[in-house]
Amino acid sequence: MTLLNFFISGISLGSIYAIIALGYTMVYGIAKMLNFAHGDVIMVGAYVCFYAVSRYDLPPVAGVALAMFVCTLLGIIVEKLAYKPLRQAPSLAVLITAIGVSYFLQNTALLLWSSNPKVFPSVVGRGAIKLFDGQLSLSHVTVVTIVTCVVIMICLTWFTGNTRMGKAMRACSEDKGAAQLMGINVNATISMTFAIGSGLAAVAGVLLCSAYPTLMPTTGSLPGIKAFTAAVFGGIGSIPGALLGGLLLGVIEIFAKAYISSQLSDAVVFAVLIVVLLVKPAGLLGVQMPEKV
């Protein structure tokens, strides 16, 4: 029963990683860019929701919607000012700019909202589903997170598979030059990707802080790196891969803590990642691109 409980904890943690990883993987898949500022957009989303719900007494749903709106807007602005001018630049230049954006968001948050941690009001409630006479408990946040993940995953898969915009995104992801020749507006498509990714970040932020309710300007950065790892684990660029990678990473982390060593759990998580990448160099569900000779 303990094992099962740990498994559930792992799933809870993993679902949070997964939802952050979805945003990472989406942006990477299309813009081919490691957006290290993603974690900080998450933090901004959580703050917006926090202020909407606990200071201005908006209903949680309105809080989430507002957070999504603000983050989408933020994503568009950041993309326009910081990433778009670098479209032709080497990919490392964009990576460094993303880090600059990450510092910028963290320090702006520090000035605006102070360094004192805030306790986030759960938008879902603190309840839990009890099974087997209460021996197992599955919190509502976890259920909502997993459902949200699956919904987002299905929507994204449908969107990229069936809509004009989505198809344009996939085309850009495969070959920007060819996409341009086919009359796709590559710039607009990539901007759109950032807008969607940032909107997802807001949802992730709200759920992250609902599950683990403290909120500081640095809240997004470490889960961001873990989620990035999860995205690579599942095969970066693959949408179902992000979900699988996130859940697995969460479960591995909890099991490593419980059965190997709480001190070395992070080392174990990263070691597993390395082994997986050695066996499957493109991650679990990633597609190995054939080399063009």
Partner 1 sequence: MTMKRLINLKRVEARRIFTTYALVTAAFVILQIMSSTKILSSSMRGMLVPICAYMVMAVSLNLVVGVLGELSLGHAGFMSIGAFSGVAAAFLLQNILPFAPLRLALAMIVAAAFAALAGFLIGIPVLRLKGDYLAIVTLAFGEIIKSLLNNFYLGVDSGGLHFSMLADNTRLLAGGKLIIRGPMGISGIQKISTFPMGFALTIIALAVVFNLVNSRAGRAFMAIRDDRIAAESIGIDITRYKMMAFVTSAALAGAAGCLFAMNYSTIVANKFDFNTSILVLVFVVLGGQGNMLGSIIAAAALTILPEKLRQFADYRMLLYAVLLIAAMLGANNSTVRRFFDRFNPFSQRPEEEEGD
Partner 2 sequence: MKKVFALVAVAAFVMTAGCAFGADAFKLGATGPLTGGAAIYGNAAKNGAQIAVDEINASDSKVKFELHYEDDTHDAEKAVNAYNALKDWGMQISMGAVTSKPCEAMAAENFADRIFALTPSASAVAVTAGKDNVFQMCFVDPNQGSASAQYISDKNLGKKVAIIWKNDDVYSTGIRETFVAKAKELGLEVVSDMTFADGNDTDFSVQLTDAKDKGAELVFLPMYYQPASLILAQAAAMGYAPKWFGVDGMDGILTMEGFDKSLAEGVILLTPFNADSKDVRTIAFVREYKKRFGEVPNQFAADGYDCVYAYKQALENSQATADMDAETLCTKMIEQFTSMTFNGLTGSNMTWSKAGEVTKDPKGMIIKDGAYAGLD
Rule CB under 8 A: which residues touch partner 2? Answer: 2, 5-6, 9, 12-13, 16, 50, 54, 107, 110-112, 114-121, 126, 128, 134, 137, 139, 211-214, 216-218, 222-223, 225-226, 253-254, 257-258, 262-263, 265-266
Of 56-64, 207-215, 227-235, 249-257, which segment contacts partner 1 by CB under 8 A?
227-235
Report which DSSP code applies to 125: -
Q: Is 116 in the site for partner 1 (CB under 8 A)?
A: no
Residues contacting 273, CB < 8 A, separation 6+: 229, 232, 233, 249
Nearer to partner 2, 34 or 141 (CB): 141
Compute how many residues bind partner 1; rule: CB under 8 A.
44
The piece of 50-58, 100-108, 118-126, 180-188 that touches partner 1 (CB under 8 A) is: 100-108
- Is the CB of 248 or the CB of 273 nearer to partner 1? 273
Would strands 214-215 and 136-139 be described as parallel, antiparallel, or unpaired? Answer: unpaired
One-letter amino acid for residue 69 of the chain: F
Q: What's the rounded Cα separation, in Å, for the pair 265 and 263? A: 6
Q: Does 174 bind partner 1 (CB under 8 A)?
A: no
Q: How far apart are CA 264 and CA 168, in angstroms?
A: 44
Contact pick of 189, 191, 198, 229 for partner 1 (by CB under 8 A): 229
- The single residue listed with the structure tokens 């949200």 is 148
Please give the angle made by the CA atoms of 76, 195 and 181, to the nearest 5 degrees: 90
If we measure between CA atoms, which residue out of 135, 132, 153, 148 comes closest to residue 243? 153
Question: Should residue 101 be labelled a site residue for partner 1 when binding is judged by CB under 8 A?
Answer: yes
Q: Residue 32: phi, psi to the nearest 5?
A: 55, 45
| 186 near partner 1 (CB under 8 A) | no
277 binds, among partner 2, partner 1, none (CB under 5 to 8 A by kind): partner 1
What pairing do the DSSP bridges indicate for beta strands 214-215 and 118-119? antiparallel
CB of 19 to partner 2, least distance (A): 14
What is the number of helices (H) and of strands (E) in the chain?
A: 11, 4
Taking the chain, what is the end-to-end CA distance rounded to the nearest angstrom? Answer: 54
Q: Which is nearer to partner 1, 100 or 117 (CB)?
A: 100
Residue 108 touches which of partner 2, partner 1, none (Cβ within 5-8 Å per kind): partner 1
- Please identify which residue in 59, 125, 161, 281 interacts with partner 1, judged by CB under 8 A: 281
